[in-house]
Amino acid sequence: MHTSDQGNVPFVRVAVYPGSFDPVTNGHLDIIHRASKVFDKLVVAVLNNTSKNPLFSVEERVGLLREVTRDLPNVEIDSFRDLLINYMKKKNAHLIVRGLRAVSDFEYELQLASTNRKLCEDIETFFMTSTPQYSYLSSSIVKEIARFHGPVSDLVPPEVEQALRGKYGTGTTEC
List, in sequence order, the alpha helices (H) in the chain.
Answer: 26-38, 58-68, 84-90, 103-119, 139-147, 158-168
Domains located in the chain, CATH noted: 10-136 (3.40.50.620)
Task: Using the predicted structure, report yes or no on whether residue 171 has a pLDDT greater than 70.
Answer: no
Q: Any idea what the Cα angle at residue 42 is, between residues 35 and 154, rounded to 5°?
A: 55
Residue 140 annotated as part of some ligand binding site: yes
- The percentage of the chain sitting over the pLDDT mark of 90, rounded to a whole number, equals 80
Per-chain mean pLDDT for the chain? 91
Judge whether 165 is annotated as a binding position.
no
- Residue 109, marked binder: yes
Q: Which residues in 51-61 are b (16+ Cβ under 10 Å) and which e?
A: eeebbbebebb
DSSP letter for each residue of 49-64: -TTS--SS-HHHHHHH
3-state secondary structure of 73: coil
Q: Which residues are catalytic?
A: 28, 52, 101, 139
Residue 118 has pLDDT above 90, yes or no: yes
Span 41-52, pLDDT tens digits: 999 999 987 777
